Chains A and B, each alone.
Chain A
């Protein structure tokens, strides 16, 4: 078969450790993105024009930039121009937090704007304060429509962290390459098996999220 190397030595453990780095970068970025994105989204719905313009420029900047360029910008750019030496992992978390917050902010904005004015009017007529209205009426409705695309965003972040190896982070794809290089001469088909294993690992992580997103979507359209 030519895949025995996968079960020799510490290969599996190394791959799982790499996957751990992938998940650590992703989950920390997501955890930081959620509060930032919610705040950004709420600010987006404010009437303040300057605030909206600033947020719009930020969002568009993050959107049009390839994530790889952002990684290089933060990792090399901050070192050369600001004298800040981030580790690859910290630089990655900064980039994916900035990206996740921007995308989530836009999702929150859309979800909040989709709620009709009449919901605010109904709550007002019942005597609720604007805080009570937001917490009990608006936010729960926004969350319902917000969850499916947010889970999709998490999947996108997990997949895109594979770029982090290009700034020296040893995440799961980088580990895979090391394994391929190590076994290059003994196992000619090693690359294929290793990449298949990587694909399987990503699938195991992302497929349940995809199912969750679809289930949430079905539920929210009830």
Chain B
């Protein structure tokens, strides 16, 4: 899995000038006495793909859920294009500017694939039904599921369902797409078809914040890698994070993906 360098991808330079699409400032979140996020700062520039890695339970998913407002944050703020959207009651308008795809796809089983994709545009954006359907079919065609438009979600494989879930999120034209371990629930042979779609989206310049355990995928897609552990950012770097981790914790984490036979 390789990805050609994109012409617009110069995030390191852009970071200093442009306002980030998504910015998290000092995000704190606890569940009871368990501090999951202890002051996270993170900015995602337009067109940038940021990959969050870290050991299980380090708060990566929680951070995404806080960013989109599924979890109330205990401290800090979430900014979209420079304006704060993390008030006690985030308005519907701000919510629709971010998209999220979940580990367990969570398509709505009571409607067809096409209706899953057109639901939010027609309901939230009052889009014309025919136009929304046309758009949905185009999105489905792009992920190779044109012929599945009228199928029911439970007749699709996990990989197909996840690709529909991606279309469903894209139908709202999110400024930033959050992907939460989108392949963790998939059989190995389906992982590739989903990640290929995500990779293509990255090449088209979609801004994404991705949580994944697929290290080779992370290496292929990341403009920037952020490692979380113990509720804080441990290390942040370019794709060379994987070859040259700076901190001992990052090195220890990356070693857990390698296999060594004893006595060789």
Binary interface encoding of chain A residues 118-138 relative to chain B, with 1 for a CB under 8 A from any of its CBs, else 0: 110111111111001000110
Q: Are A136 and B119 in contact (CB under 8 A)?
A: yes
- Enumerate chain A residues within 8 angstroms of B81, measured Cβ to Cβ: none
Interface of A is mostly: helix
Q: Are B109 and A141 in contact (CB under 8 A)?
A: yes
Contact with A128, one of B98, B99, B100, B123 (Cβ below 8 angstroms): B123
- Determine how close the nearest CB of chain A comes to the CB of B207; give it in whole angstroms: 16
Say yes or no for A144: interface residue by CB 8 A criterion.
yes
- Determine how close the nearest CB of chain B comes to the CB of A200; give it in whole angstroms: 39
| Residues of chain B in range 104-139 having any CB-CB distance to chain A below 8 Å | 104, 106-111, 119-120, 123-124
Say yes or no for B219: interface residue by CB 8 A criterion.
no
| Residues of chain A in range 116-163 having any CB-CB distance to chain B below 8 Å | 116, 118-119, 121-129, 132, 136-137, 140-141, 144
Once A and B bind, how many residue pairs between them come within 8 Å at the CB atom? Answer: 61
- Enumerate chain B residues within 8 angstroms of A132, measured Cβ to Cβ: 123-124
Complex Cα distance, B111 from A129, in Å, reads 18
Contact with B110, one of A118, A121, A141 (Cβ below 8 angstroms): A141
Complex Cα distance, B6 from A93, in Å, reads 72
Complex Cα distance, B169 from A125, in Å, reads 8
Contact with B102, one of A122, A129, A141, A222 (Cβ below 8 angstroms): A122
- Enumerate chain A residues within 8 angstroms of B68, measured Cβ to Cβ: 124-125
Residues A118 and B102 in contact in the complex (CB < 8 Å), given A124-B70, A126-B96:
yes
- Enumerate chain B residues within 8 angstroms of A127, measured Cβ to Cβ: 92, 95-96, 120, 124, 172
Say yes or no for B168: interface residue by CB 8 A criterion.
yes
Complex Cα distance, B108 from A128, in Å, reads 13
Complex Cα distance, B108 from A123, in Å, reads 9
Complex Cα distance, B111 from A140, in Å, reads 9
- Nearest residue (CB) in B for A118 is B106
- Determine how close the nearest CB of chain A comes to the CB of B143; give it in whole angstroms: 17
- Determine how close the nearest CB of chain A comes to the CB of B161; give it in whole angstroms: 12
Q: Are B70 and A125 in contact (CB under 8 A)?
A: yes
Q: Are A124 and B110 in contact (CB under 8 A)?
A: no
- Enumerate chain A residues within 8 angstroms of B159, measured Cβ to Cβ: none
Question: Which residues of B pack against A, CB within 8 Å?
Answer: 68-70, 92, 95-96, 98-100, 102, 104, 106-111, 119-120, 123-124, 152, 154, 165, 168-169, 172
12 A-B interface contacts by CB (under 8 A): A119-B108, A122-B108, A122-B165, A124-B69, A125-B70, A126-B96, A126-B124, A126-B168, A127-B96, A127-B172, A128-B120, A222-B154
Besides A128-B123, A136-B119, A136-B123, 8 more A-B contacts (Cβ < 8 Å) are A122-B108, A123-B108, A124-B69, A125-B99, A125-B100, A126-B124, A128-B120, A140-B111
